[in-house]
Structure formats: C-alpha cells, structure tokens
Amino acid sequence: MKIAIVTDSVADVPESLRKELGITVVPLSIIFGDETFIDGVDLDIYSFYTKLKASKVMPSTSQPSPADFMKVYTGLLDENDYVFSIHASSALSGTYQSAVLAKETLAADNVEVIDSRQATMCEGFVAVEAARAAARGAGTDAVRRRIEQTMASVRLLFVVDTLEYLAKNGRIGRAASLVGALLSVKPILSIEDGVVAPFEKVIGARKAFHRVIQSMKEQVGSERVSAAVLHCNAPYKAEEWKREVEANFDCAELIVADVGAVVGAHVGPGAAGIVWHTLPQLV
C-alpha cells in the first residue's frame, strides 16, 4: 500500500526534510493590507520578516480553500492508495475545516483528515513521523498509531519578545492574562488543548531561556528525544539554544527550523523555542 502524507505551511517542516520524506505541503496565505502572498511561494521567510518589520499594517493569514485541498488529494490518489492529511489546530486555523470539506466533497474514504491540535514543528513532527512510518512500508493502522503516539508526546516551549502580535491577531488564547505585563517580563508559552497557553512568566530573556532548558530537563529526564529548535528570524539565538540542547539531552535528531510567515505573523520576530517528542516504538 502506498500512503501519502499531507500537511500545511503552519507545520514549518524544513524543505530538505519535506523533500526527503515526500511530504506534500498545502500553503496558507499571508495578507498585508491589499496584498496577498502565498506562504513560501510568493513570499519567502526572510522577505516576510523584512516586510513585517517595515509594515505599518499587521498581517493576517488565510487558510487554503477546499478546492486547493481537492486538487492535492485528487493528484495524490492517482499514485497512492491512501492519504493522511495532518493539519494545524482547528482552534488556531480554519485549515482543518477546509481539508474536511474537501474530503467530504470528494467522498474520499481513502483520505483521512487529522486535527493535530498543534502548530509549527509540533504539527510538523506528527507529519514527519507519519511519513517515516509510511516509507518503511507501514499500513494505515500502523501509520495512524504513529500519528497518535507523536501527538500524545510532542511538547513545545517558546519565548516571545512581545505579546503584541499574538494579541492583535487574536491567537493568544489563555495567554491573554499576560497582556500588559512589564516589558522586562518574558512569558514562556506552550500549546495546550490546541491553543496558545501561558507556561510561566520570567523576568528577563536570559532567565526565560534557562527556565525553558530546565523545564525540558524536568519533562524529558533521561529519555531519548527528537527535537527542533525554532526561531523567528533570530539565527544567533537559535544557535545558542541548539548548543544547550545538544549539551543537555540525548537527541536522536536535532533540527533547526525557521518559523515561517504564518506562525511568525502571530508571534513576531525574535521569538524562539524548542519542540520535542519522545520516540515511540517502531512500527
């Protein structure tokens, strides 16, 4: 059985990994006033952050249409027996709903749409592990188990320079209580139940960074993990975080991933974080 894996551009899976595993990405759109760009097609990551800093207009995002998904599913089913379509949290984006509408319109029993309840590389790792299982020849039940295992174990901690972008774009969820905090307070955020949620408030960026590492130690212990350091146009910060993760954890893999325009529009430049998941049994 040939199984295809689809995700969206919220997942931030690095291009090299997408190509290696044959993951299909359906892009969202980025909107600056009257200008609309297709994420990663009309606007690359670095151009986006340059535009974000210079623009007086707060960008918004728009999910792909059901027609976009129908085109992708139809093409993939010409060469594959089954499609797992894994998408950003339905509490954060309408992308999942668009994918469901496409599946229902096609009446495609061999397309399975999954709400990852996550975003950025949390969602990305779910798609990556599914693609790895499919590449090993796993059947639909085994790939589904791998998806469920990864969704259950994936974790994210990230630090933003400001809550301005999350607040203005309405994606702040239970972290709303942190708005208006002093500039020296650096909130550590996570994703819980599909929405952005506060983890802790720390005074100063350095303390926030060290608290993220400490908390990851508390949660991981001695387990082996797959991990990704994420950054929003902050490569030097990412390198520092990568060195700390390498020094403190047993990583089967450690990816440095640029946070793309969709998530970057909501968290703003300078944000950085770590995603990890424990390694499930091979299928």
Section 74-92 average pLDDT: 97
For the chain, what are the domain ranges? 3-27+62-152, 155-278
Q: How high is the pLDDT of residue 188?
A: 86
Section 174-194 average pLDDT: 67
Q: Cα angle vertex 116, ends 113, 117, to 5°?
A: 130
Q: How high is the pLDDT of residue 134?
A: 97
Range of lowest pLDDT (47-51, 77-81, 174-178, 186-190): 174-178
The H-assigned helical ranges of 63-118 are: 66-77, 95-106
Contact 24, 72 (CB under 8 A): yes
Assessment of whether the complete model's pTM goes beyond 0.75: yes
Give residue-wise pLDDT tens across range 253-270. Answer: 999 999 999 888 888 889
Out of 55-64, 150-159, 180-189, 194-203, the most confident range is 150-159
Residue 184 banded pLDDT, cuts 50, 70, 90: low
Contact 245, 274 (CB under 8 A): yes
Residue 245 reports pLDDT greater than 60: yes
**Distance (Å, rounded) from C-alpha 221 to C-alpha 249?**
9
| Residue linked to tokens 């093409």 | 75
For the domain bounded by 155-278, which CATH number is listed? 3.30.1180.10
Alpha-carbon 279 to chain mean position: 18
Three-class SS of residue 29?
strand
**What's the one-letter identity of residue 182?**
L
| Topology given in CATH for the domain delimited by 3-27+62-152 | Rossmann fold (3.40.50)
C-alpha closest to that of 9 among 58, 52, 72, 54: 72
**Angle 140-153/120-135 helices, nearest 10 degrees?**
150
In the numeric block, which tokens belong to residue 272? 């950085």
How far CA 268 is from CA of 62, 162, 167, 230, 255, in Å, comes to 17, 7, 11, 13, 21
- What value does the mean pLDDT of the chain take? 90
| Residue linked to tokens 């146009």 | 233
Contact 69, 27 (CB under 8 A): no
Alpha-carbon 179 to chain mean position: 23
Return the DSSP state at 254: E
C-alpha closest to that of 119 among 35, 207, 246, 28: 28
**What's the one-letter identity of residue 202?**
V
Q: How high is the pLDDT of residue 170?
A: 54
